[in-house]
Each structure stands twice: as C-alpha cells, then as structure tokens.
A = this chain, B = another copy of it.
C-alpha cells in the first residue's frame, strides 16, 4: 500500500548562508549534525535519520532537491522502474551524508527528487543523549524546538499533471484537492501515510516551474505554534500568516520567511486518514472564498510568493 515510507530530507538553497543557518539553529532550534563545504546538515530532535534539512549557500533561494525514502529495497526498485517508465528518470547517485545510493528524477514540473532506501540512524553525542529509549535525541527546548521535518509544498505550472505522476508512479494517495469552477486543479494534497499531507502541489501564480512554496516543520502542539509566533516576532522574522487552522487537511500553521527568502511553516495537527478507501475531498471555488477554517482570509502573498523569486529566473 505504501511504497514510500516518508518524505525528506530536503535541501534548501539560500543566498544568506550564515543568517539562514542562525535562523534554523537559534530560532527554529535545529541542531547542526555536520557541515561540508557550503552546506550545513540540520536535524530536529525527533528526526530518526541524521539530518532532515540540508542548507546550502547559493546565489539564489529555492529547493535543491526533495528526498523520498522508499519503504523497502524492493519498493525502491519498483518506484525506480515506474519513474523510468514515465520518462522522468535521471540516474543513480552515491548518496549523501549518512545515506546510501539514491535515484534521481524530476517531477513533470522540473523539481529534483532523490529516492533512496538505505540510511544511517542517528546516534547522538553524549551532550544530546535523551532520557528515554524511544526518542532519538535530547529535547533541548531551544527556540521553536522543531521536532522534525513534516511536509513540503511545491509550486507547479500544472498541478494536475504533477499529482497524477506522484499518484501513479510514486504511489501517493490523494487526500484533498481544489477544483475551480472552470475545472482546473489548483491544489493537491498527497500522503504516503495516514498523515493528512506530506507532499502538496499548488499553482504557481506566474506559471513558473520548479519553485518551492514552503517547507513545513513539525511541533507536537498548537501551543508550540503560538509560542513560535512569539519567538519569530521578537526575532524579527517576517510573519506572513499568524497561527490559525487550515480548512484543507486541518493543519495548524504559522508561516514566515527565513532570511534567505524561503517560506517556512511551523505546523502541527492535521487530520489522520485511517480509511483505506477514503474518498478524495474536493474543495470548490466557493469553499475557498470562505477563507481558512475559522474564516481568516489568506494573505495575498501566500498565493503568489515562492522561491526562487520569479524575477531572478528571466
């Protein structure tokens, strides 16, 4: 049923390397697991792998690649075959830090993915040893105290084409989508697990390709989202959308921009989908006009802003 275990890690590009690193470490509370060249490998206290975010200094922002872990070596080979059959494959790599060989491919919109199976489990140093056996790392409680990477929202010129690829070739389940009155699909929420969303596609307002909408990091409670907003406020982080609840997927959110310009979310909640035959929820234009779950109108930039900025792409 689930050929993919989960999404991640993700590599983000930033033109402001040090400021972005300070944001993720001091404000978001991630740990630096390793540094290599212009990249830092970061982890939340609940990530079982060594890292879930690779932050790389670059001349622009955006997502370098999105990792997907297959649920078994056999599932890995089956997905590689399916992607190759779809004509979107690139080829095998030697892996990355703490991770075995991967298979590279692009989604129809051009975002780079890396599928893999073999990983190294995190082994905390003495000062990050947790008290309990079923926790990978000490809970330091620094800043927003992010637990782990949760989901990624990509922008696409053609949402439908991309979600069809993800469902057909990767085995994602489609839980919710937006269909406008003219029949166009402007959003698709997919998951490989019972979690409401792992991979999301929404329409690129500029028709650009390969862009990122946001990367979402998990905390266990809504109170931690509210607390994160206080921390962002006092640390001059641009808050794009204050904490509230999405109608779609019912996730609780806080959105802002890290110093390099990438939109990040602190998230929790979201419905769990236990029914194996759960029908896809289709949201209409009229539904969307009502705003978020409690009627908050979505801020305009949320529908247009992505990274890298479109101006830089021309």
Interface set of A (CB-CB < 8 Å, partner B): 1-2, 5-6, 29, 46, 48-49, 69-72, 121, 130-135, 138-145, 176, 193-195, 220-224, 226-227, 229-236, 239, 242-245, 247-250, 269, 271-272, 274-276, 278, 281-283, 287, 292-296
Contact = CB atoms under 8 A, between A and B. Distances in A.
A133 B287 contact: yes
Given A49-B275, A134-B247, A229-B245, 4 more contacts: A1-B2, A133-B287, A139-B233, A221-B223
Given A239-B295, A296-B242, A227 B1 contact: no
Copy number of this protein in the oligomer? Answer: 4
A137 to B, nearest CB: 9
A131 B234 contact: yes
A128 to B, nearest CB: 9
Given A230-B141, A242-B294, A248-B134, A278 B48 contact: yes
Contact of A141 (B70, B143, B249): B143
A272 B268 CA distance: 13
B132 A242 contact: no
A143 B249 CA distance: 24
Contacts of A134: 176, 247-250, 271, 281
Given A2-B2, A141-B227, A242 B292 contact: yes
Contacts of A275: 5, 48-49, 121
A48 to B, nearest CB: 5
Contacts of A194: 193-195
A256 to B, nearest CB: 9
A24 to B, nearest CB: 14
A52 to B, nearest CB: 10
A276 B69 contact: yes
A230 B133 contact: no
